[in-house]
Structure 1
Amino acid sequence: MKITINSVVGLTYELKVSKEEENIESVPFSVEVRDQEDPFYFLFGNSGLPEKFESFLVGKSKGEPFNFIILANEAYGEADDELIMALPKSQFTAENGFEPEMFEEGNFLPLVDENGYPMQAKVLKDLGNEVLLDFNHPLVGFDLHFDGEVHEVREATAEELEHGHVHGEHGHQH
């Protein structure tokens, strides 16, 4: 089976990132490896990933290798200053699972948006009664270098299509 819209896709890969700053291209460095023990699964066409990512995979079959680069402007874009904000620490209580050490610079806070979807924010600075958070995607501003293989391709079930995500062993459990 080939990768098409509404198929369930499993990938193994190494993701490296690089960033061009002041006309100096950085050497790509590894940020994620998904291997045979932990492949990455998604519903093709409804992944929430950059469009360019899926365009490089369409038509591939199980066992086919892939190697491509998605430039920052076609991946997660550049940082948006409006997504950096100071919030009162009083919003992050122990009753909601927040501990003081979670507010150290560089940590990611696990949050939920107003619709109940998980999200995260990077702690930029502890300001005492407030914390400066960055809600930009962690890969914003980076070129993405993917090198991997198609691990599995199968038809999505009616339930997966209805819910918009993968179910079962490698997906969401209801």
Structure 2
Amino acid sequence: MKIQENKVVGLTYELKVSKLEDEIESAPFSVEIREEDDPFYFLFGQSGLPEKFEELLAGKVDGEDFSFSIPVDGAYGEPDDELVITLPKSQFSGERGFSPEMLEEGNFLPLMDENGYSMQAKVLKDLGENLLLDFNHPLVGFDLHFEGKIIEVREATKEEIAHGHVHGEYGEHD
């Protein structure tokens, strides 16, 4: 079965990233590995991943290997300075599920937007009463290099299509 709209896709991969700084491309370094004991599953056409990622997988079949790179402009783009903001540290209290260790510089805070969707912010600096947070995607500014294998392609259920995500063992449980 070919990867196309409304198919559930399972894959294993290694993601490496590189960055262009002062006109010199850094050597790609590994940031994520998904192996057969923890594959990545998504609903094709509704993954929330960069469009180019899905474009480069379209038409591939179960068992097929893949290897491709997505430049920064086709991935998560360049950093947006407007997504770096200062918020009162009081918003991240113990009553709201935050510990002091979570607020240390370099950590990612698990948050939800006003619609209940998961998001995260990186703590850039502790400013005393405030925190300087970066809401840019962690892979913003990087070229992405994927190498992996398609391990499953199947029809999505009506519920998966309606909910916009995979259900079951490797998906969400609704």
Q: TM-score when scaled to structure 2?
A: 0.99
Deviation at 1:105, TM superposition (A): 1.1
Gaps of at least 5 residues in structure 2 are none
Q: Distance in 2 between matches of 1:133 and 1:11?
A: 32
Question: Which residue identity lines up with residue 10 of structure 1 in the other structure?
Answer: G
Report 1:120-135 matches (<5 A): 120-135=120-135
3-state SS in 2 of match to 1:8:
strand
Match for residue 99 of structure 2? 99
> What's the CA shift string for 1:39-83, capped at 9, x where partnerless?
000000010100100011011111100000000011000000000
Q: Distance in 1 between matches of 2:60 and 2:89?
A: 47
> What's the CA shift string for 1:90-111, capped at 9, x where partnerless?
1111011101111111100000
Match for residue 54 of structure 2? 54
Report 1:50-89 matches (<5 A): 50-89=50-89
3-state SS in 2 of match to 1:56:
helix
Match for residue 41 of structure 1? 41
Q: Distance in 2 between matches of 1:25 and 1:164?
A: 36
Question: Which residue identity lines up with residue 24 of structure 2 in the other structure?
Answer: I
3-state SS in 1 of match to 2:140:
coil
Match for residue 17 of structure 2? 17
Match for residue 5 of structure 1? 5
Gaps of at least 5 residues in structure 1 are none
Question: Which residue identity lines up with residue 100 of structure 2 in the other structure?
Answer: P
Q: Distance in 2 between matches of 1:62 and 1:90?
A: 49
Percent of pairs with identical residues:
72
How many residue pairs match? The answer is 174
Q: Distance in 1 between matches of 2:59 and 2:106?
A: 39
3-state SS in 2 of match to 1:85:
strand
